[in-house]
């Protein structure tokens, strides 16, 4: 039986983990972008909106 070196297994595992994290961050960013577009605010208005909602929570 031919064994697979442990370091290769770890490398593949880490790569899969990084891809999964990247995909999650990308999806989260897309959700935020959609919400911002739905609000239709300018950059300054968006800053104020974020400050106001942060104070409420």
pLDDT digits (tens, 9 = 90+) for 9-56: 999 999 999 999 999 999 999 998 888 888 887 888 888 888 888 887
pLDDT digits (tens, 9 = 90+) for 4-21: 889 999 999 999 999 999
pTM across the whole model = 0.56
Q: CB pairs under 8 A, 24+ apart, for 7-11?
A: none
Here the tokens at position 38 are 């739905």
Write down the domain spans for the chain. 6-56
């Amino acid at each position: 039986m031919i064994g697979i070196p442990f370091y290769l297994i770890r490398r593949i595992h880490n790569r899969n983990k990084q891809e999964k994290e990247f995909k999650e961050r990308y999806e989260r960013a897309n959700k935020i972008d959609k919400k911002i577009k739905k609000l239709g605010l300018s950059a300054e208005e968006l800053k104020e909106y974020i400050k106001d909602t942060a104070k409420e929570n």
